[in-house]
């Protein structure tokens, strides 16, 4: 049987303040911290309003943060001062770090038979489940970084999407389409990777790289597989100048500058989130999966952004937090979220939502993240409470921004990361 779908008009939604006003005195306030781009912000606010108006026991008090890093930093302070919210939206690394320190609730006691945790997409469900069965978070939406490019510009230079199937092919295309002005400065870039360690890690994984050894004892981020990839990006950005990185700024400023370059004819394409789809014009652009490296198949990361419930909060409010999370992740709403934002839905039963199926037939780019997620690497979960990822972030800035050779940057990062891993293994 098909699930009934809802007609959605995300613009022009009006909240009924009268409903809340009449019942606010009896409601339990539930604090929620989250972040995200423009479309996710809009949809999250809409779902919070809908939930608040659908019942009179709880009222969700959403608080938008600058970005995931700011959310996490504020959460650490909130946990220390006992002012943490009842639930928070974190990235997979942050959520696992919280769970590893036993700072989040096990969600199993809040799940009843009708919740059907088994309906969550297996990769996302496994991501939040420990071997002992503990469920430390609930997948909110799936995310992975894919390729977006200008269809006409690619064809104008005699290339097809197949030419973007390896990073070496991307480099060849970038060199051909890049343009310089009269002063020799690049005025049109062949490609724009996104600032930070993630794109560089994705490409390294697509070269067969590993972060740590299988026995969990040795950091491998200065291996030849890493150095080859990161050094290539340094050369493309700083020597060939066929690629560019936007960095810094407030919040997501660097991200939107990157998107603007492609949308406004200053770059052929960029590597961006599946969630960017809500902001892009697909009459001009196309989407495809990330490339492999040489003969290695593509293996970029894919994971879920995760709702977690910190320990030490009010129990009744915690129940309200889970009720909202249940509402947010039902088949209809995960379909709505995916259609509006471009992120990956989290439930298998989304396939029974007629509107979602109709949408993906008309918008095939929406299926690219799902296709990539099927063969992607899981987000690396740092056993050192973020120290390895911090070392990689520093090295990425050195390579992308400071033009420091990858071998030097990664060797320094590996030393810092190894010390952290050794400490973690001794504890």
Q: What is the pTM of this model?
A: 0.76
Q: Are 282 and 417 part of one and the same domain? A: yes
Q: Are 91 and 172 part of one and the same domain? A: no
Question: pLDDT of 100-149, one tens digit each?
Answer: 889 999 999 999 988 999 999 888 898 999 989 999 999 999 989 999 99
Going by C-alpha positions, the residue among 368, 421, 391, 51 that lies closest to residue 222 is 391
Q: Are 123 and 70 part of one and the same domain? A: yes
Q: Are 262 and 171 part of one and the same domain? A: yes
Q: Are 152 and 232 part of one and the same domain? A: yes
Question: Is 294 domain-assigned?
Answer: yes
Q: Which domain holds residue 71?
A: 17-143+303-378
Q: What is the DSSP letter of 209?
A: -
Q: Are 311 and 322 part of one and the same domain? A: yes
Q: Looking at residue 338, which CATH number applies to its domain?
A: 3.40.190.10
Q: What is the dihedral of CA 134, 135, 137, 142, to 10 degrees?
A: 130
Q: Are 154 and 284 part of one and the same domain? A: yes
CA distance 359 to 5: 12
Q: Are 251 and 217 part of one and the same domain? A: yes
Does residue 172 have a pLDDT over 60? yes
What value does the mean pLDDT take over residues 346-358?
93
Alpha helices in 145-289 (DSSP H): 151-156, 167-177, 197-205, 224-234, 253-263
Neighbours of 245 (CB within 10 A): 21
Question: Is 206 domain-assigned?
Answer: yes
**DSSP calls for 26-55:** GPEEEEEEE---HHHHHHHHHHHHHHHHH-
Q: Are 60 and 127 part of one and the same domain? A: yes
Question: Is 276 domain-assigned?
Answer: yes
Q: Are 89 and 140 in contact (CB under 8 A)?
A: yes
Q: Are 156 and 31 part of one and the same domain? A: no
What tokens were used for 427?
């504890």
Question: Is 11 domain-assigned?
Answer: no
Mean per-residue pLDDT over the chain, rounded: 91
pLDDT of amino acid 122: 85
Question: pLDDT of 145-164, one tens digit each?
Answer: 999 999 999 999 999 999 99
Does residue 7 have a pLDDT over 90? no
Q: Are 153 and 100 part of one and the same domain? A: no
Q: Are 38 and 153 part of one and the same domain? A: no
Better-scored residue on pLDDT, 20 or 218: 218
pLDDT of amino acid 3: 42
Question: Is 221 domain-assigned?
Answer: yes
Split into its structural domains, the chain has a count of 2
């Amino acid at each position: 049987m098909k699930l009934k779908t809802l007609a959605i008009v995300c613009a022009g939604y009006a909240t009924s303040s009268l409903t809340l006003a009449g019942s606010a005195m009896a409601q339990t306030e539930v604090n929620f911290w989250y972040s995200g781009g423009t479309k996710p912000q809009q949809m999250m606010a809409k779902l919070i309003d809908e939930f608040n108006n659908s019942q009179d026991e709880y009222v969700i008090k959403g608080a938008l943060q600058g970005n995931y890093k700011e959310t996490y930093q504020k959460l650490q302070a909130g946990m220390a001062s006992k002012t943490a919210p009842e639930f928070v939206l974190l990235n997979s690394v942050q959520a696992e770090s919280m769970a590893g320190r036993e700072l989040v609730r096990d969600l199993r006691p809040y799940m009843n038979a009708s919740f059907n945790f088994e309906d969550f997409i297996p990769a996302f469900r496994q991501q939040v489940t420990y071997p002992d069965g503990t469920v430390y978070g609930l997948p909110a939406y799936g995310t992975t970084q894919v390729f977006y490019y200008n269809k006409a510009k690619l064809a104008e230079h005699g290339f097809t999407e197949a030419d973007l199937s390896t990073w070496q092919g991307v480099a060849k295309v970038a060199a051909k389409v890049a343009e310089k002005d009269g002063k020799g400065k690049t005025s049109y870039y062949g490609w724009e990777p996104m600032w930070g360690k993630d794109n560089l890690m994705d490409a390294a994984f697509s070269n067969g790289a590993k972060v740590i050894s299988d026995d969990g004892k040795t950091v491998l981020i200065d291996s030849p597989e890493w150095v080859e990839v990161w050094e290539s990006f340094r050369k493309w950005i700083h020597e060939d100048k066929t690629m560019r990185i936007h960095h810094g700024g407030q919040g997501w400023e660097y991200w939107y500058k990157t998107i603007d370059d492609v949308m406004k004819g200053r770059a052929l394409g960029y590597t961006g989130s599946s969630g960017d789809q809500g902001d892009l014009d697909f009459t001009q652009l196309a989407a495809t999966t990330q490339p492999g490296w040489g003969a290695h198949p593509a293996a970029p990361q894919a994971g879920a952004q995760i709702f977690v419930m910190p320990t030490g909060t009010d129990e009744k409010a915690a129940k309200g937090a889970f009720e909202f999370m249940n509402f947010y992740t039902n088949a209809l709403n995960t379909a709505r979220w995916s259609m509006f934002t471009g992120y990956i839905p989290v439930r298998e039963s989304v396939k029974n939502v007629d509107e979602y199926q109709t949408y993906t037939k008309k918008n095939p780019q929406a299926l690219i993240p799902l296709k990539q997620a099927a063969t992607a690497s899981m987000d690396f979960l740092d056993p050192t409470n973020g120290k390895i990822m911090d070392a990689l972030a520093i090295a990425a800035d050195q390579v992308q921004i400071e033009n420091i050779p990858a071998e030097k940057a990664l060797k320094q990062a590996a030393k810092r990361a190894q010390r952290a891993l050794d400490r973690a293994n001794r504890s």
